[in-house]
Amino acid sequence: MPNRKAILERDTGETRVSVEMVIDGTGQYQVKTGIPMLDHMLSQLAKHGAFDLKVSAEAKSDPDGHHLIEDVAIVLGRAFGQALGERKGLVRMAHALVPLDEALALVAVDVGGRGYAQIDTPFNAEEVGGLTSDMARHFLETFAMEGRLNLHAKFLSGLNDHHKIEALFKALAKALDAATQLDPRIAGQVPSTKGVIDS
């Protein structure tokens, strides 16, 4: 089994964030950001993606949570990208369709090194558990750019915002788990006709 893991820290005048990530994990997690819904969603990402994840974050100067959520996304994305290494032998592209009661979320990813996000996730409420709907979108965009992955996410149905966002993160987890698997047929090969992964 490859040793695909990363440990990163980011310490600014606004926040302090540390992330430990193991791609080939078992879904173990320790998450503490001070934002209940963000903790819950990162736990879902680890559990359903079978990633081992430790996240510790604290705000120094952050009146509305924006900097903390953004910085967690930055460090998590960079840790994810670093853990993937040269990205050789990856399945690379995957998608997941995940329901949670009335909510249904679709996520498609390509971990081939090009950071881009298309997020179509309208919410009914402005905030769920300290996580604003706009920052949920921004978190996913930032994670995709910093992790160098193409991410498309949308709701196909849903009324309850908690259900919608949880379905979304579970779908992200399942898609990332599938895309980061190693295909034994192309072991050691770059999964691109270019012969290189774009950065």
pLDDT tens digits for 57-87? 999 887 777 899 999 999 999 999 999 999 9
Does residue 173 carry a pLDDT above 90?
yes
Does residue 54 carry a pLDDT above 90?
yes
| Domains in the chain with CATH codes | 5-186 (3.30.230.40)
Rounded CA separation 191/183 (Å): 10
Q: pTM higher than 0.85, yes or no?
A: yes
Ramachandran class of 89: left when φ > 0, alpha when ψ lies in -120 to 50, beta otherwise:
left
